[in-house]
Amino acid sequence: MSEKEIALRYGMNPHQKDAKIYSADGQALPLTVVNGDPGFINLLDALNAYQLVRELRQATGLPAAASFKHVSPAGAAVYAPIPPELAKAYFVDGMELSELATAYARARGADRMSSFGDAAALSDIVDASTAQLLKREVSDLVVAPGYTPEALDILKQKKGGKYLILQIDPNYAPEPVETRTLFGMKMQQERNGAVPDASVFDKVVTANKELTDNAKRDMLVALVTLKYTQSNSICYTLDGQTIGIGAGQQSRIHCTRLAGDKADRWYLRQHPAALNMKFREGVSRAEQNNAIDLWLEDEVTPVEQAAWELCFEEVPARLTREQKREWLNGLQGVSYGSDAFLPFRDNLDRASRSGVKYVIQAGSSMRDEEVVQAANDYNMVMVYSGVRLFHH
């Protein structure tokens, strides 16, 4: 293995051989395999995820983390203190976490179902606190600009010593033009080097123009996350983290519904009935996550119910639709970002049910007037960023 080329286990699937990553210009790669044996999808996740956290760090000045699965983020976050109820929902109550570890706990906790077996990306040098958190989670790899010796010792014990640890040069600057081979043909474009900053808030188009600092932070988290999410994409954010991401849908309203449903589940997991569930001894955190998720379903089959009940010492009562709605009424101050313009007001009608107060989108739809009116109907603050963030 040379500095200019890294052989991979295989391509996207095991039958796709002769896989590698290499430097086209003959220069040394900015990426080092510290431990483990990478595959093609590992690197797709790692390189997209690291760009996301690096740009979150640039945009907000805060330590950032992302939890990636299949070339889209399951969650992303910057540092913000975690309140006790949320810490319990994230399975980190009682743990002393560094700022970087807190960012990863938030990113991982955004959608614990989807984060299972993730690619973790960190914006800063990984410390022992972050390494301990990673060690206890089901994760396939970590990528970061560096690791303390203690953190490396901890991480090298994971997965029987086979945990993939990647280190990337934080000062690496790729060429401004990128190429891709598709069906034997070369495609070329200027890479998307735009990093959202305070200028995206210049054009507020609603009657309500009161943007808080926290809302601006959350909108930046949404935009940077969307930049590295397969399009079409929608992102709901709160308290410095994503709480619902809808990726890769052909219809924007389906993205909004998917992300909104995830945001609702994120908040319902903090319901006292969820936090006080008593699981049988030996039920893993992943199994607990699955059980809580099934608990949130309105309808289950008798077979599902019987298998679900085996997880508990005391089987919890299911919440009614009315109880869920009452609890969800407490979800407020959410920011909502779109990777392109909103073509219809139905997106905001659905978003309003998940506590959305702040909206950032590209603007320039044929129905902008109708969409602005929808935002005004819900007393939302809506900003036109003027930037489309498609990612494929």
Is 354 exposed, middle or buried, given 0-12, 13-18 or 19+ CB atoms closer than 10 A? Answer: buried
| Encoded amino acid at 368, one letter | D
Catalytic annotation present for 232: yes
* Residue 270 near residue 86, CB atoms below 8 Å: yes
- Residue 380, by phi and psi: left (phi above 0), alpha (psi -120 to 50) or beta? beta
Q: Treating both helix axes as pointing N-terminal to C-terminal, what angle do 99-109 and 128-136 enclose, rounded to 10 degrees?
A: 30
Sign of CA dihedral 286, 334, 296, 347: negative
State the Cα–Cα distance between residues 93 and 83, nearest whole angstrom.
9
d(CA 358, CA 158): 41
Of 216, 232, 271, 324, the active-site residue reads: 232
69 noted as active-site residue:
yes
Distance CA 308, CA 314 (A): 12
Question: How many whole angstroms separate alpha carbon 382 and alpha carbon 187?
Answer: 36
Are 88 and 109 spatial neighbours (Cβ–Cβ below 8 Å)? no
CA angle 63, 71, 148 (to 5 degrees): 35
Candidates 35, 42, 69, 271; catalytic one: 69
Q: Contact 35/156 with Cβ under 8 angstroms?
A: yes
Q: Which two tokens stand for residue 65?
A: 């983390």
Burial group, residue 62, by CB count within 10 angstroms (0-12, 13-18, 19+): buried
Helices (H) and strands (E) in the chain, counts: 13, 17
Residue 297 corresponds to which tokens in the numbers above? 């379903």
Note if 271 is an active site residue: no
Q: In terms of DSSP bridges, do strands 356-361 and 334-338 run parallel, antiparallel, or are they unpaired? A: parallel
Per the CB < 8 A criterion, the answer to whether 121 and 143 are in contact is yes
Catalytic residue among 70, 88, 254, 391: 70
- Catalytic residue status for 254: no
Question: If we measure between CA atoms, which residue out of 240, 236, 244 comes closest to residue 214?
Answer: 240
Catalytic residues: 69-70, 232, 392
